[in-house]
Amino acid sequence: MRFLFENNVLDGDLRELTCSGAAVPLQPQVFDLLLYLVAERARVVSKDDLISEIWSDRIVSDSALNSRINAARKALGDDGATQRLIKTIPRKGFRFVGDVREEVAEKPVPAEVTPGSPRVATDRPGIAVLAFENMSGDPAQEYFGDGISEDILTALSKQRWFIVIARNSSFTYKGRAVHLKQIAEELGVRYIVEGSVRKVANRVRITAQLNDATTGGHLWAERYDRELVDVFAVQDEITERIVAAIEPQIHAAENFRTHRKPPSSLDAWDLLMQALSHYWRITPQDHAAAQKLLERAIAIDPDYGQALAVLAASHMFGVHLGWAELATTAPIAENAALAAMRCDHENAWAHAALGSVCFSTSRLADALSEFEQALALNPNFSLAQGYYALALSYAGRPGDSFEAAQKAIRLSPRDPSLAIYYGIAGYARFTERQYDEAIALAREAIRHRGDLTGAYRVLAVSAGMTGDGALADMALGELRRTQPNISLDWIATQLPWANDADRQHYLEGFRRAGLR
């Protein structure tokens, strides 16, 4: 169905908006919202209606919803003041009030598939989560182990990296002595998660193990001992920690697998895995290598949303750390992130990448909305959690920022980005004038990685404000080494504060530290 109003054509089948024949770029979620408002124009659409229809009843902040409404208005040349087409009905919701004509769009003739067409290969690995074994000797405790297993399965399903076998298949092996290799062959997976639960009195011991079924090797194993004060809180905590540990282990195993293949046989998935191994090393050279690999993956599969999303995130990483110029990099990253969301609007990486573009281009409300959406899709996504913490600080919410940074650290205690998360926590404390704690957090960041700019920035400004000249000189020297273009002008123009007082506070710290 096509909807015609003013000079616009909204095509629900082609999923595009045109104005006077020219395509108007829209994020997939904004398109869905606009299409829903136009289709339901005979009535007022409530916020609950929109959350149910567009967000599938997930928890959504008012800032996320308002950001999408504003984006839809902007695409139509409308705004919140005039409300020419999208009207806000106070305490009721929204209504599309333009004059609309409907047309049935012609269906395109499907193109023939030629035998010579290249195969697009994105061979995502399969993973199965078996029911955790109850070692307590008490049949009444079966529910606890099943609950842990099911929560892990659900959380892994949100990550989009893996094909996760449904519970109804993986739980059929419960209570049966079946070799892991046989399970892998029958379910068509490479990786199997198994574990056990032993509950005694008010304590519980949970073990979990990730196995590579093709080699028979153990990739990761961990044991958790907890007081069982709140059974559901313990279940949530253990699930969170297991899922956060599993994802990087599978990425490492897949990267090792791809490096054993001849270069001529690499498919899009293999190239993505190799790119990620460079991405997480967090150096300018590695990110350049990652971008080349991702571009090769996208050349094989132009609709490979995950590769597009990681490409966008990689470009913006360089901006945040001072390796790349914002003016030239942001448009490239934004185009890649929007393309990723057109492929899959529930891709958490795509939302995080777009959020990072919005952050660096001073669209803080949109940035927070995108990071919140990424975390709604994958609550265990530590990178999005770290970005969210950063955006909260620059939005003038340092307390919330510190809590978010602490959560990123807890989510992934072995994360290659851990130094960045500590630096973000340090900046939050600097904003709150807690300079000694900011210095301690910056030192912790440097202990993890001594070649990243963020921690030295925090260390320099905090030392400047406390009058520690020797520490300030050291921090500035290291900052100039890691970011040669650092200057007061760069700081004043490239970092996106919502409040000018926060900008001036930061600049004053650098002035006292001796930056000119």
Q: What is the pLDDT of residues 86-116, one digit of tens each?
A: 999 988 899 999 999 888 755 444 334 333 3
Does 386 reside within a domain?
A: no
For 134, phi then psi, to 5°, come to: -85, 110
Does 341 reside within a domain?
A: yes
pLDDT at 177: 81
Does 82 reside within a domain?
A: yes
Q: Are residues 140 and 230 in the same domain?
A: yes
Does 167 reside within a domain?
A: yes
Q: Are residues 211 and 289 in the same domain?
A: no
Rg, C-alpha atoms of the chain: 25
Residue (of 411, 444, 1, 412) closest to 424 by Cα position = 444
Max Cα–Cα distance, the chain, nearest Å: 73
Among 259, 288, 320, where does a domain finish?
A: 259
Provide the H-helix boundaries in 432-499: 435-448, 453-466, 469-482, 488-494
| pLDDT tens, position by position, 279-293 | 888 889 999 999 999
Does 398 reside within a domain?
A: no
Does 85 reside within a domain?
A: yes
Among 241, 259, 277, where does a domain finish?
A: 259
The residue range of the domain holding 78 is 2-103
| pLDDT tens, position by position, 129-188 | 998 888 877 776 677 778 788 788 877 877 777 788 877 778 888 888 888 888 888 888
Q: Are residues 140 and 238 in the same domain?
A: yes
Are 466 and 439 within 8 A, CB to CB?
Answer: yes
Q: Is the pLDDT of residue 426 over 50?
A: yes
> Does residue 482 or residue 14 have the better pLDDT?
482
> Does residue 187 or residue 480 have the better pLDDT?
480
Are 396 and 498 within 8 A, CB to CB?
Answer: yes
Per-residue CA distances from 474 to 283, 421, 426 (Å): 22, 21, 17
Please report, in angstroms and rounded to a whole number, the separation of the first and last CA atoms in the chain: 60
| Average pLDDT estimate for 388-414 | 90
Q: Are residues 313 and 375 in the same domain?
A: yes
Q: Are residues 21 and 42 in the same domain?
A: yes
Q: Are residues 63 and 84 in the same domain?
A: yes
Does 111 reside within a domain?
A: no
Q: What's the rounded Cα separation, in Å, for the pair 23 and 443?
A: 50
Q: Are residues 253 and 276 in the same domain?
A: no
Q: Are residues 139 and 244 in the same domain?
A: yes
Q: Are residues 92 and 180 in the same domain?
A: no
What mean pLDDT, rounded, does the chain reach?
A: 85
Q: Which two tokens stand for residue 510?
A: 């650098």
CATH of the domain at 155: 3.40.50.10610
Q: Is the pLDDT of residue 509 over 50?
A: yes
Q: Considering the chain, what percentage of its residues have pLDDT values greater than 90?
A: 41
Q: Are residues 364 and 444 in the same domain?
A: no
Q: Are residues 492 and 457 in the same domain?
A: yes
CATH of the domain at 415: 1.25.40.10
Does 175 reside within a domain?
A: yes
Residue 252 CB contacts under 8 Å (≥ 6 apart), including other chains = 219, 277
Q: Are residues 139 and 250 in the same domain?
A: yes
Among 344, 379, 414, where does a domain finish?
A: 379
329: Cα within 13 Å, side-chain hemisphere: 26
- Tokens 């760069």 belong to residue: 490
Tally the domains of the chain. 4
CATH of the domain at 11: 1.10.10.10
Q: Is the pLDDT of residue 75 over 70?
A: yes
- Tokens 């079966």 belong to residue: 142
| pLDDT tens, position by position, 348-368 | 899 999 999 999 999 999 999
Residue 353 CB contacts under 8 Å (≥ 6 apart), including other chains = 309, 310, 312, 313, 316, 333, 336, 337, 340
